[in-house]
Structure 1
Amino acid sequence: MPVPAPNLYPPFNIVRLSHVTYRVTDLAASRAFYVDTLGLQVTEENDSEIHLRAMEERGHHCIVLEQAGTADVGVLGFKLFDEPDLDKAEAFFRARGLPAEWVERPHMGRTLRTRDPWGIPLEFYVKMDRLPPIHQQYKLYRGVKPLRIDHFNMFSADVDASVAFYNDMGFRVTEYTEDAETGRVWAAWMHRKGGVHDVAFTNGLGPRLHHTAFWVPTPLNIIDLLDLMATTGYVANIERGPGRHGISNAFFLYVRDPDGHRIEIYCSDYQTVDPDLEAIRWDLKDPQRQTLWGAPAPRSWFEEGSLFEGAAPQDSALKAQPIIAP
């Protein structure tokens, strides 16, 4: 099934992905991982929540760590262009029979809370508290030196349907994996901000969050993080990489936080701002699809993910599998 034509005039204007709330079972352990090891900056914290931002970000937070009895994902957040877009977004979701309510969020203006058709919790806003720039305060850089949040990747039980719905919201496909036997899309990468993706969908038990990614300055920052994790008690948290993706061309590393939430460290993808940019097709069995150098991903990368609060995952009917490491 071919990917849909780009929707260049969506009903409301999403600028980019913005933030994620991770519900964690040990806030202190999560703080040690995200702050002391990865190098995210604390913007506010108390006994139950920690707000974090990366070095180039002016918004108050890109991650909220929330103490909880169960580790899962509370919400994925997106920034809209202007206030009228919030009302247009509300109309969009209500017209499809999906929930839409106005909620209060600390450090954010008017915020719309909803879910996509498969239960992924989403929120949209225009204004977030702005903080002073810190990107030139080099004394603050540590860990992997994360510059900004880059994308979300979600497991989907029906990638074609997920792509169609997010295409309706204006996300444009940059690359996709097709199962040659069925003609169905097995995975797809979609953007708003002009990189390879703000969201991606991978076939599997879904919905679940596969990973959140952070952009870093160079591949050498990833090597530094590996050395740091290997000598500070986190060697078992290194899941996959380093490597070079075929899809997106990105240099990558996948690590797991203390609750198992997957984080990708990411750099070196390419610009996609042209509205007539053609999507790149990959065959599911192409060994260079996962890693340009040919190394397959481990089984955990295809099977494990974070549950979304309040969403019940379903098995995918598409049973095709890529090459998996033994």
Structure 2
Amino acid sequence: MPIPKPQLYPPFNIVRLSHVELLVTDLGKSRAFYVDTLGLQVTDETSDVIYLRALEERGHHCIVLRKAAAGEARHLGFKVFDEEDLDRAAAFFGGRELPVEWVERPYQGKTFQTRDPQGIPLEFYCKMDRLPPIHQQYALYKGVKPLRIDHFNVFSQNVDEAVAFYNEIGFRVTEYTEDEESGRLWAAWAHRKGGVHDIAFTNGRGPRLHHTAFWVPTPLAIIDLLDLMSTTGWLQNIERGPGRHGISNAFFLYVRDPDGHRIEIYCSDYQTVDPDLEPIKWDLKDPQRQTLWGAPAPRSWFHEGSLFSGAELTDSDLAAQPIIAP
């Protein structure tokens, strides 16, 4: 399936990805991972929930950790330009007979929740409480020094259909992987904010959250995190990397939190602001697609992900497989 032409005048204006809520079984362990080890900043916490932001962010939170009986992912949050766009977004999803539920969310203004056609739970808002800047308070820079949330990656049971839908609401594909035998998409990366992606789709049993990524200052921050995790009891939570992706050119590391939620630490991708930028095509069997240096990803990277609360899972009918590490 060919990549659809960019929709430069979508029905509503999404600014960027914003936040995710993760259900966790032990807030103390999760706090030790996200705050003490990764270095995210607490903006509020109770006995049931912790709100976090990264060091460059002015919004109240980019990740919410909520205590629950099982580790799952909830809504992926996106910020729209203004309240008129929020109303247009709600009308768009309602017109597609997708659920629209207006909800009260702490630290956010008018907000609605919905699901995309594949069942991914989404949340849209336009205003979030602003906090004072802390990006020059260098005493706060701990762990991997996370600067901002960068993207989501989700398992999709049909990447072609996912790309077509998100293209319609203004996401532009920057890079994609095609299965040469079937001519179908195996993965795709799409953005709103001018990086390589705000959201990516990976072929597999879905919908599930593959990972949430945070941008860090330099690859050296990733090396520092590896030294820290390997000497403070988190060695088994290091899953993949460090390395450099072929797709996106980013330097990366994948780690798992205490409930198995996958977090990517990410830096050094490239700007994609031009609306006529042509997407880059990769072959599924290209060994440099996953890692520019040729190292394949482990099996867990292709098969394990976080369940979305309330989502019905469906197997992908595209059986093509990339190169997998033994």
TM-score scaled by length of structure 2: 1.00
CA shift digits 1:234-281 (9 cap, x unpaired): 000000000000000000000000000000000000000000000000
1:140 maps to 140
2:12 maps to 12
User: Equivalents in 2 of 1:118, 1:104: separation in Å?
Assistant: 25
2:21 maps to 21
Unaligned runs of 5+ in 1: none
2:292 maps to 292
User: Equivalents in 1 of 2:204, 2:119: separation in Å?
Assistant: 15
Deviation for aligned residue 1:2: 1.0
User: Equivalents in 2 of 1:116, 1:131: separation in Å?
Assistant: 31
Deviation for aligned residue 1:13: 0.2
1:1-326 to 2 correspondences below 5 Å: 1-326=1-326
User: Equivalents in 2 of 1:313, 1:264: separation in Å?
Assistant: 23
Query: RMSD over aligned Cα, in angstroms?
Result: 0.4
Deviation for aligned residue 1:197: 0.1
Amino acid at match of 1:242: P
User: Equivalents in 2 of 1:157, 1:81: separation in Å?
Assistant: 30
Deviation for aligned residue 1:118: 1.6
User: Equivalents in 1 of 2:77, 2:221: separation in Å?
Assistant: 27
Secondary structure class of the residue paired with 1:161 = helix
CA shift digits 1:121-177 (9 cap, x unpaired): 111000000000000000011000000000000000000000001111100000000
User: Equivalents in 1 of 2:300, 2:39: separation in Å?
Assistant: 25
Secondary structure class of the residue paired with 1:239 = strand
Amino acid at match of 2:129: D
User: Equivalents in 2 of 1:151, 1:74: separation in Å?
Assistant: 15
Unaligned runs of 5+ in 2: none
Secondary structure class of the residue paired with 1:77 = strand
User: Equivalents in 1 of 2:12, 2:84: separation in Å?
Assistant: 8
User: Equivalents in 2 of 1:74, 1:194: separation in Å?
Assistant: 25
User: Equivalents in 2 of 1:28, 1:163: separation in Å?
Assistant: 38
Amino acid at match of 2:267: C
Secondary structure class of the residue paired with 1:226 = helix
Amino acid at match of 1:93: F
Deviation for aligned residue 1:313: 1.1
Secondary structure class of the residue paired with 2:241 = strand
Amino acid at match of 1:62: C
Deviation for aligned residue 1:74: 1.3
Equivalent residue pairs, number: 326
Secondary structure class of the residue paired with 2:228 = helix
User: Equivalents in 1 of 2:264, 2:107: separation in Å?
Assistant: 26
Amino acid at match of 2:59: G
User: Equivalents in 2 of 1:119, 1:157: separation in Å?
Assistant: 10
TM-score scaled by length of structure 1: 1.00
Secondary structure class of the residue paired with 2:123 = strand
User: Equivalents in 1 of 2:189, 2:121: separation in Å?
Assistant: 19
Amino acid at match of 1:256: R
User: Equivalents in 1 of 2:199, 2:229: separation in Å?
Assistant: 27
User: Equivalents in 1 of 2:252, 2:282: separation in Å?
Assistant: 19
CA shift digits 1:71-102 (9 cap, x unpaired): 10111100000110011001110111100011
Secondary structure class of the residue paired with 1:15 = strand
Amino acid at match of 2:72: D
Secondary structure class of the residue paired with 1:228 = helix
User: Equivalents in 1 of 2:91, 2:126: separation in Å?
Assistant: 16
User: Equivalents in 2 of 1:100, 1:135: separation in Å?
Assistant: 36
Deviation for aligned residue 1:61: 0.1
- Runs of 4+ aligned residues of structure 1 deviating over 3 Å after TM superposition are none
Amino acid at match of 1:239: E
Secondary structure class of the residue paired with 1:320 = coil
The alignment-based identity, stated in percent, is 79
